[in-house]
Chain A
Amino acid sequence: MTPNLHLWLIPVLPLVGAAINGLFGRRFSRQTVVAIALGFSGTAFAVALWVATQASFLPVLENLAPWIRAGDFQVDFAFYLDQLSLVMLLIVTGVGFLIHIYSVGYMWEEAGFYRFFAYLNLFMFFMLTLVLGSNYLVMFIGWEGVGLASYLLIGFWFTKDSAASAGKKAFIVNRIGDFGFLIALFLMIKHFGSLNFVQVFRIVSGLPAEVAGAGLLTSIGLLLMVGAAGKSAQIPLYVWLPDAMEGPTPVSALIHAATMVTAGVYMVARSHAIFDRAPQALMVVAIIGTLTALFAATIGICQTDIKKVLAYSTISQLGYMFMACGVAAYSAGIFHLMTHAFFKGLLFLAAGSVIHAVGGEQDMRRMGGLRHHIPWTFWTMTAGTFAIAGFPPFAGFFSKDAILWRAYSSPYGSWVYWAIGVFTAFLTSFYMFRLWFLTFFGEYRGEVATSHEDEHSHAGAPASHGHGGIHESPKIMLVPLVILAVLSVCGGWVGIERFDKFLSPTFHAGATGYSAEELSASTPAPQPKEQGGSEALFTGISVVAAALGLFLAWLLYYRRPQLPQEIAKALGGFYEAVVHKYYVDEIYAAVFVKPLIDGSTRVLWQGIDRDVIDATLDNSAEGAREVSDAVRHMQSGNLRSYAGWIAAGAAVLIAYMIWMGTR
């Protein structure tokens, strides 16, 4: 007998917190706001931990209320917990709770303190709904909700123009992805008559091969991927994520690194039954992931804003996750999702701590030599940097290695994915250590701290950052850093084998209602390529790539800091292109945004709305007015003129009748 896990509590608790803080927070003291926000998100984490102890009962389906009933089609408010959603649940509540704690310190001086925590809790609610939903529609509620929360939090400093536009950009670009997601849902309703994960996957796995291969599953898979590309910032919809760094740093850590942007990976992994049977769609996922990983990493090399580097790094790491999903190594993708949540959350929080320390400055060219001033931040960030670069025994090493190995050895894999992956790992290591060296080593290149007053006001960074010289952050910010640093070091020790085994009920059998034999019968299962010794070799190569990145960064940014400029000069136009992010924003502006604005302005507004719709109404009103204006002079009040009109009318009538009579 399955115990009642009360899954609904987990999302609802943050929602209650958001409601209380959002409605009444203005009148509360900061301490009360903190108590409510941390209390509710912390309780949600506690419930999630308790649920995790009941893992032997998975999967659990919790039906809360009926929602849509239309003929045979039905959608319920229902939560579904299996190993995959459990992992996501723990990441979201755990990392989310840590970032809540951190935000208390980071946002303390902000005017909209209560507003920030209300949004943050609201985000937790939607993210947990997304993760726990038992059908695509409940997932979609969460999907849209996190987009809303993301919009609100990116535009948290809404008086700043760039923040408001960045929020809009994120929201609009995500709409494009959601469009694809929605069409995929419609296709499922039309062809499968259900949105329920279990039912859909059972139908999909039961489809005969000629139907499955006939494009339906491929189109559903590709459309889902469009949605995932929007939410998880993949080519071609990644452009919103770097701009989203306008939001407060804890937001970047929580939403734009650890949780929300991984929703796309979660969705693809959740829909693995569809992708398993649509190899073309799977290949597209892998190619998009691989290209994004490489593309974003090259841009990351030339960024000078500490948060922008991390943003492009996030895009690149998400690319890795999609690469893993694309070669059907879902557990490796989720593994990397987890370790990435630890180390990238850590890196963002540490970057926030650095920004805090130097008074709101985000440009790495004006940092340097900070390691003695902020040792805690330095050491935790070091852990994060080594983790993302993929040095053993840090967490990133295990997950990235698992992805790279699967990218080569999986039946869907190819050495091309692997090669690009390794090169990207080298780039990752290089730009992360570049950030590390620029920030913490060498001489301090910023101005004296007292002159920061005007700078951070235009940067919109927290007002607290102006006081004093370079200083370490308060303890409440350091505690989450340390915890995440420990996780970044140890998080990977679980090992991919154990992780794989833990997730196998989700990815192989049971949960989706078909057994492994059926799967192997319906899809050709090519033998894995040679194992054993080569895996160790591949691991060695990726470690060497990471070390090479470290060495190069050390050489260029520590040993001979004048060298980068010379290299930049030598590369000329290519360097320019990379600095300007390959002009992608400019191209999008020219190809999509400008025609859209021009078309709306000239055709829809000035052409159709003003010259057709408005003109029709205006002219008919004007005509009526002019006719009335002419006619109203007939009502003069003069009795004899009325009589004249009557007589004239009668005369006309008589004349008409005579004319009719004589015809």
Chain B
Amino acid sequence: MVPLSYYLVLSGILFACGVAGFLIKRNIITIFMSIELMLNGVNLSFVAFAAQWHALSGQVFVFFVMVVAAAESAVGLAIVIAVYRTRGTLNVDQVDLLKL
């Protein structure tokens, strides 16, 4: 059996990749994908713990996260399209109107 720590390290690596991508990338789609990566990193740790402790709640939580993530991507992609239509770009550094 694969030890729990392997799953957790992989989960941490996935999450860190997501954070790094979020911070570094400028394209909104890529940022969006980075968010999904972070979510899935967390999901992995949920199911790993659930399997380790033979508890069902972790698995159920993951389903919730997937459902919310699906809804979020639907809304998020709609916003991305709206942003592209109005601004003509997907570069977040050029979408910075909300400031002092």
Contacts and interface: CB of A to CB of B under 8 A. Distances in A.
Answer yes or no: are A and B bound together in one complex.
yes
Contact of B95 (A632, A635, A639, A647): A639
B23 A644 contact: yes
Contacts of B93: 638, 640
B96 A639 contact: yes
Tier of interface size on chain A: 10 to 19
B92 interface: yes
Nearest to A632: B100
Contact of A637 (B23, B31, B96): B96
B99 A639 contact: no
Contacts of B31: 639
Interface in A599-635: 632, 635
Contact of B100 (A635, A639, A643, A644): A635
B34 to A, nearest CB: 10
A625 B96 CA distance: 25
Interface string A18-56: 000000000000000000000000000000000000000
A643 B99 CA distance: 15
Given A640-B23, A643-B23, A644-B23, A635 B99 contact: yes
A635 B97 CA distance: 11
A636 B99 contact: yes
B22 interface: yes
Interface string A560-599: 0000000000000000000000000000000000000000
B98 A640 contact: no
B19 interface: yes
B99 A637 contact: yes
B36 to A, nearest CB: 15
Nearest to A650: B19
A350 B48 CA distance: 117
Contacts of B22: 640, 643, 647
Interface in B76-100: 92-93, 95-100
B23 A639 contact: no
B99 A647 contact: no
Nearest to A633: B100
Interface in A375-432: none
A513 B92 CA distance: 99
B75 to A, nearest CB: 17
B96 A638 contact: yes
Contacts of A644: 23
B97 A637 contact: yes
Interface range on chain B (Cβ under 8 Å from partner):
10 to 19
Contacts of A636: 96, 99
B92 A639 contact: yes
Interface in A636-662: 636-640, 643-644, 647
Contacts of A637: 96-99
B27 to A, nearest CB: 11
Contacts of A647: 19, 22-23
Interface in A345-366: none
B14 to A, nearest CB: 15
Contacts of A635: 99-100
A640 B27 CA distance: 11
A637 B87 CA distance: 15
A640 B99 contact: no
B89 to A, nearest CB: 13
Nearest to A637: B99
Contacts of B99: 635-638
Interface in B1-59: 19, 22-23, 26, 31
A640 B97 contact: no
Chain B CB within 10 Å — which of A632, A636, A639 has the most? A639
Contacts of B97: 637
A415 B22 CA distance: 110
Contacts of A638: 92-93, 96, 99
A108 B47 CA distance: 107
A635 B98 CA distance: 8
Nearest to A648: B23
A637 B96 CA distance: 4
A632 B99 CA distance: 9
Nearest to B22: A643
B79 to A, nearest CB: 12
A639 B19 CA distance: 13
A632 B100 CA distance: 7
A654 to B, nearest CB: 11
A612 to B, nearest CB: 35
A637 B100 CA distance: 8
A644 B96 CA distance: 15
A647 to B, nearest CB: 6
A341 B96 CA distance: 89
A640 to B, nearest CB: 6
A638 B97 CA distance: 8
Contacts of A643: 22-23
A643 B28 CA distance: 13
A643 B30 CA distance: 14
A405 to B, nearest CB: 92
B19 A640 contact: no
Contacts of A632: 100
A644 B26 CA distance: 13
Nearest to A639: B92
A637 B99 CA distance: 4
B20 to A, nearest CB: 9
Contacts of B100: 632, 635
Nearest to B92: A639
A635 B99 CA distance: 6
A639 B90 CA distance: 12
A414 B88 CA distance: 112
B92 to A, nearest CB: 5
Among A636, A640, A644, max chain B CB count under 10 A is at A640
A539 to B, nearest CB: 96
Contacts of A639: 31, 92, 95-96
28 contacts: A632-B100, A635-B99, A635-B100, A636-B96, A636-B99, A637-B96, A637-B97, A637-B98, A637-B99, A638-B92, A638-B93, A638-B96, A638-B99, A639-B31, A639-B92, A639-B95, A639-B96, A640-B22, A640-B23, A640-B26, A640-B92, A640-B93, A643-B22, A643-B23, A644-B23, A647-B19, A647-B22, A647-B23
Interface of A: 632, 635-640, 643-644, 647
Given A635-B100, A639-B96, A644-B23, 9 more contacts: A632-B100, A635-B99, A636-B96, A636-B99, A637-B98, A638-B96, A640-B92, A643-B22, A647-B19
Closest 6 CB pairs of A and B: A637-B99, A637-B96, A639-B92, A638-B96, A637-B98, A635-B100
